[in-house]
Amino acid sequence: MTVVPLTLWLSLAVEVRPEFQPVEDDPDLRRVLLIGDSISVGYTLPVRELMAGRANVHRAPENCGPTTRGLERIDVWLGDGSWDVIHFNWGLHDLKMDENGEHQVPIEDYEANLERLVVRLERTGAELIWATTTPVPLDVEGPARDPGDVIRYNDTAEAIMRAHRIPIDDLYEFALPQLKQIQRPQNVHFTPEGSRVLARQVVASIEQALAAR
Count the alpha carbons within 13 Å of 30 in the hemisphere toward its beta carbon: 16
Provide the pLDDT for residue 73: 97
176-190: pLDDT as tens digits: 999 999 999 999 999
Provide the pLDDT for residue 1: 46
- Position 4 confidence tier, pLDDT thresholds 50, 70, 90: low
Beta-bridged to residue 33, according to DSSP, are 58, 86
40-67: pLDDT as tens digits: 999 999 999 999 999 999 999 999 999 9
Q: Averaged over 33-45, what is the pLDDT?
A: 97
State in Å, rounded, how far the first CA of the chain is from the last one.
20
In the chain the domains, ranked by start, together with CATH numbers, are 6-212 (3.40.50.1110)
- Position 141 confidence tier, pLDDT thresholds 50, 70, 90: confident
- Position 2 confidence tier, pLDDT thresholds 50, 70, 90: very low
Provide the pLDDT for residue 15: 52
Cβ proximity of 204 and 196 under 8 Å:
no
CA–CA dist 128, 52 (Å, integer): 20
CA–CA dist 181, 71 (Å, integer): 35
